[in-house]
Structure 1
Amino acid sequence: MSFTTRFAVLASLAAIIVAPAWAETRVTYKSAKVGSSYYQMAVQISEAMKAGTDSEVSVTVEESQGSVQNVMEVRARGADYVFTTPPALVGLAQAGKAMFEGKGDPAFDEIRALFPIPSLTMHFVMSEASGVKSFSEMEGKTILLGSGSFGAREGAKYLELFGLQDKVTIADSELSNAVSALKNGQIDGFVTAGSYPAPNVIEAAASTGVTVLSLSEDQIAKSKRTPLTIPAGTYAGQSEAITTTSLPVVAYTTSKMDDETAYLLTKTYWDMKADMAGDAAWWDGVSTEMLSTITTTIHPGAVRYYKEIGATLSDAHM
């Protein structure tokens, strides 16, 4: 055996021996805008994956302009792509409807769910000074909805559904100004959608005092959204549970991801959820019961984990 051949053989053996020491699964996680609660969640998941796998999994968080963009990028992404979006958008993409009309792609049929994350939760936040305790009392008040977000669109929809569309003044300002505007008396309330406890609602409740309105069963039925209960004590001064609506959000990948990676991501997520809840209470609201909000196929690697723990799955998930 020549020196060159011996060297090549030794190098190959060294690579085989050393590889496991540095082998790493890299994942790109695309969620939301920097500064949003969902971007914070993405960072938490990234840190949890690293800690829970002893750095075997490395998650890079990417900023996103929204859930529709996250779905659209499936067409050009590889096996390492994980993204968040409401289940309803996946269904629309696969059917080529609404914002996906004329933009259908076979890649959408390959989207696979991994695990639910905290839901988008509607908050109708009124200042104590306004005296508003119910939707009917919002008449004549000034409300900030913001613009372009799910919360703004949903808030406007609810005002119309509940007969308030022409009975309130809509403030011309961005949601980022809501807390200061509430403190200064420029508005009587604001509408925000985010996982609870929502940072801007925490700030408003602590600094100026607020009432977060509850929806009646009839109002929830009209909204056609998923009901959700915010436990008493979530916000300063909140002595009773708040009944509101939500939009489920799920972490997805595609069939390009191998089963072992999907299994590891899903198992680590649930194993680390309690640790994440120690840093942010919104994880306490997540349970395997929320798998029922997933309306399309779950990745086989994730299905393997859910079967191991005895979670309830439907035929649509397989």
Structure 2
Amino acid sequence: MNLPTKFLGMCIASLLLAAGPARAEVQITLKSAKPSSSYYKMGEQLAQALKAGSQGEIIVTLGESAGSVQNILDAESQEDDYIFTSPPVLVSLAQQGKAMFADKDNSDFGSIRALFPIPSLTMHFVMAQEAGSLTFSDLDGKSLLMDNGTFAAREGAKYIKLFGLEGKVSVVDTELSGALEALKSGKVDGFVMAGSWPAPMVVEVSEETGINLLTMDGEEVKKTKRTRMVIPGGTYAGEDDAITTTSVPMVVYTTTEMDDDTAYLLTKTFWAQKKVMARSAAWWEGVDDELMVNITGRLHPGALKFYNEVRFPIAEDQR
């Protein structure tokens, strides 16, 4: 499914050369996550890359956000061109008026359209090497640090219940910032976090102390109803083998209020700059055309025009 890198690069380069005279400066508002999140950092990188790649034609203002649900709720109230990050599943729930959007008018979200994928939110179950844990069955009798209220904590608690480990795993509710010291001192056997790989925090912990990342089999992944993710071997110090875990796809969205030319320019510039971003932040290396399959719902017509030109695989329900 992957397009040859050389071919994709030639396609994008040709499109850039054929772009014609510069348009007026495009002002974009981007909402991603809280400043403490890795996705806020990605937002900063994305804003810089879009400006550089468009030679200053795209100017992105990054705003603080309470998270994906709020990003979706804000979609109908933005006056400027608006882009935001969200898992596709939340956009689907909003457009169907379900779950946390049940009391909202789902017609308000009908104009949301996808632009491009970004690094997925990937579950990490990080264990002290001394704990000898490699699979979920090894967690019996172990303690896990989970930062209550976070996605990782909710997901971690879900897996503990799902795999019959309730009452067998001690959950320590502590901020994730204290995980390294808690692991090194032996106060916990491991911790749970969610972030795009390589996650800077896990990189730091793996370099400071020996760790094992829990890996999952195919049946376990199916039970979670999440997307399978493989973290390549060598991503973290001491982890030479690939790790199979779960993830939540993340996508940059806009609405039909954005004109086709702007959506086209944003999408084209993103893919042209992705390799540049990966030089300073390795998590962008995991973004390729294979992630397009994770986008549920429709693409913006301007983005679709670009994907047709570079021959990305696009499903009928994405058109």
Q: TM-score, normalised by structure 1?
A: 0.91
CA distance in 2, matches of 1:176, 1:253: 33
Letter in 2 for 1:119: S
Paired residues of 1:75 and 1:105 also in contact (CA < 8 A): no
Report matched runs for 1:36-115 at 5 Å: 36-115=37-116
Q: C-alpha deviations, 1:235-262, integer Å up to 9, x for none? A: 0011100011111000000000000100
CA distance in 2, matches of 1:110, 1:22: 25
Letter in 2 for 1:201: V
The residue that corresponds to 2:304 in the other structure is: 303
CA distance in 2, matches of 1:97, 1:151: 22
Letter in 1 for 2:243: I
Aligned residue for 1:26, secondary structure, equals strand
The residue that corresponds to 1:26 in the other structure is: 27
Report matched runs for 1:137-156 at 5 Å: 137-156=138-157
CA distance in 2, matches of 1:177, 1:71: 31
CA distance in 1, matches of 2:63, 2:84: 9
Report matched runs for 1:148-187 at 5 Å: 148-187=149-188
CA distance in 2, matches of 1:244, 1:186: 25
Letter in 2 for 1:131: G
CA distance in 2, matches of 1:310, 1:177: 46
CA distance in 2, matches of 1:257, 1:30: 15
Paired residues of 1:114 and 1:251 also in contact (CA < 8 A): yes
CA distance in 2, matches of 1:208, 1:79: 47
Paired residues of 2:125 and 2:192 also in contact (CA < 8 A): yes
The residue that corresponds to 2:132 in the other structure is: 131
The residue that corresponds to 2:5 in the other structure is: none
Letter in 1 for 2:58: V
* 1:106 CA drift (Å): 2.2
CA distance in 1, matches of 2:108, 2:269: 26
1:164–1:21: structure 2 CA closer, same or farther, 3 Å change rule?
A: closer
The residue that corresponds to 1:7 in the other structure is: none
Letter in 1 for 2:115: L
Report matched runs for 1:188-199 at 5 Å: 188-199=189-200
Paired residues of 1:146 and 1:172 also in contact (CA < 8 A): yes
Alignment length (residue pairs): 299
CA distance in 2, matches of 1:159, 1:128: 20
Q: C-alpha deviations, 1:93-141, integer Å up to 9, x for none? A: 0110000011124220000000000001011100112222221121111
The residue that corresponds to 1:257 in the other structure is: 258
The higher radius of gyration belongs to 1
The residue that corresponds to 2:286 in the other structure is: 285
Fraction of identical pairs, as percent: 54
Q: TM-score, normalised by structure 2?
A: 0.91
Aligned residue for 2:110, secondary structure, equals helix
Paired residues of 2:29 and 2:80 also in contact (CA < 8 A): no
CA distance in 1, matches of 2:266, 2:23: 18
Aligned residue for 2:181, secondary structure, equals helix
The residue that corresponds to 1:12 in the other structure is: none
CA distance in 2, matches of 1:223, 1:105: 27
* 1:21 CA drift (Å): 8.7
Aligned residue for 1:103, secondary structure, equals coil
Paired residues of 1:83 and 1:252 also in contact (CA < 8 A): yes
Q: C-alpha deviations, 1:42-82, integer Å up to 9, x for none? A: 00000101110111100111111111011011121135110
CA distance in 1, matches of 2:67, 2:41: 15
Of 250-259 and 137-146, the range deviating more from structure 2: 137-146
Of 198-207 and 249-258, the range deviating more from structure 2: 198-207
Runs of 4+ in 1 over 4 A off after TM superposition: none
**Structure 2, gaps ≥5 residues long:** 1-20
The residue that corresponds to 1:10 in the other structure is: none
CA distance in 2, matches of 1:169, 1:224: 24
Aligned residue for 2:69, secondary structure, equals helix
Aligned residue for 1:118, secondary structure, equals strand
CA distance in 2, matches of 1:63, 1:147: 21
